[in-house]
Amino acid sequence: SYVLTQPPSVSVAPGQTARITCTENNIGSKSVHWYQRKPGQAPIVVASDDTDQPSGIPDRFSGSISGNTATLTISRVEAGDEADYFCQVWESTSDHPWVFGGGTKLTVL
Amino acid sequence: QVQLQQSGPGLVKPSETLSLTCAVSGGSISGYYWSWLRQPPGKGLEWLGYVYYTGATNYSPSLKSRISMSLDTSQRQVSLKLRSVTAADTAIYYCARIGGVLDPFDFWGQGTQVTVSS
C-alpha cells in the first residue's frame, strides 16, 4: 500500500521557519495537499504544491516538492500555528486512493 | 461559506450499526464528491468512501461489505452507515467535500468521536 511518512513532531520558536516533511518514493509525480487541524476543529487545507494559495490562508504557508520529499514550509511562525499538520495525495493505483500521512504535531516554543 | 455540520451518536455497541449525518450549508451540492474519512487512535487518516452528487458511490475495499453512504439533495445531508461494528471501528469520523480526485478536501466537518463499546 502507498505510505506517506511524516515526522511525529516538529518544534520551532516564534518568528522562525518550520518545515514539515512528507516522504514517499514516487511523491514527485503527485499533487500534494497539506492540512492543519487544531483540537476540536475541522481540518483546513493550508497549501498545495501545484495550485493557488487556498482562500484565507496567509502566504506564510507554502508547499513544495523535491525528489522523494514534499515539504510544508511555515514562515514567521506564530503561536496560533500550533496544530497537527498532515499531507495527502491521490494514488490512482491504491485500494485507498486518497492517502494521508500520519501527521506531524507542530509545537511553538 | 460552506459549512459541514456532523451529527450522530458517540457511542455504539459492538455488532450494531454506526450512523452519522453531515448537513451541508452554503455552496452547491452539485459537482462534488461527498466523502467520509476516519482517524483511529494513534493512526493516520483513512478514506472510507464517497457519494457523488449524482448518487454514485465508491467505497474502500476493506469496508465495502459493511458500509453505505447516501446523499439527500433536498435535505442537503450526507449519511454514513457502518454495520457490524467492532472496537477497531473506534475513531474520529469526518465528512468532507472534494471537487475532483486531484483536488484537496476543501471543507470538512468538525469530526465525531465514535467509540465502539458495550
CB-based contact, B105 to chain A, within 8 Å: yes
The verdict on a CB contact (< 8 Å) between B104 and A48 is yes
Question: How much of chain A exceeds pLDDT 90, in percent?
Answer: 71
Q: Tell me the CA distances in angstroms from B55 to B33, B50, B79, one per residue in order.
A: 10, 9, 12
Chain A CB contacts of B111 under 8 Å are 40, 42
- Report which DSSP code applies to A63: E
Q: pLDDT digit string (tens) for A43-82?
A: 999 998 766 778 889 999 999 999 999 999 999 999 999 9
CB of A74 closer than 8 Å to CB of B41: no
Q: What secondary structure, in 3-state letters, does chain B show? A: CCEEEEECCCEECCCCCEEEEEEEECCCCCCCEEEEEEECCCCCCEEEEEEECCCCEEECCCCCCCEEEEEECCCCEEEEEECCCCHHHCEEEEEEEECCCCCCEEEEECCEEEEECC
The predicted pLDDT at position A96 comes to: 77
A109: pLDDT strictly greater than 90: yes
Mean per-residue pLDDT of chain B? 95
pLDDT class of B52 with cuts at 50, 70, 90:
very high
Pairwise CA distance, residues A46 & B43, whole Å: 21
A2: pLDDT strictly greater than 80: no
Among all residues of chain A, which has the CA nearest to that of B44? A102
Query: Which of A42, A92, A95 lies nearest to residue B108, judging by beta carbons?
Result: A42
A91: pLDDT strictly greater than 80: yes
The predicted pLDDT at position A93 comes to: 80
Q: Kindly give, in sequence order, each residue whose CB lies less than 8 Å from that of residue B93, ignoring residues fewer than 6 positions away.
A: B6, B18, B20, B36, B37, B38, B80, B111, B112, B114
Mean per-residue pLDDT of chain A? 91
A74: distance to nearest CA of chain B, Å? Answer: 19
A86: pLDDT strictly greater than 80: yes
B98: pLDDT strictly greater than 70: yes
Chain B CB contacts of A102 under 8 Å are 43-44
B77: pLDDT strictly greater than 80: yes
pLDDT class of A1 with cuts at 50, 70, 90:
low
A26: pLDDT strictly greater than 90: no
The verdict on a CB contact (< 8 Å) between A88 and B104 is yes
The predicted pLDDT at position A34 comes to: 96
CB-based contact, A28 to chain B, within 8 Å: no
- Report which DSSP code applies to A41: S
Q: pLDDT digit string (tens) for B2-43?
A: 999 999 999 999 999 999 999 999 989 999 999 999 999 989
* Average pLDDT, integer, range A90-105: 88
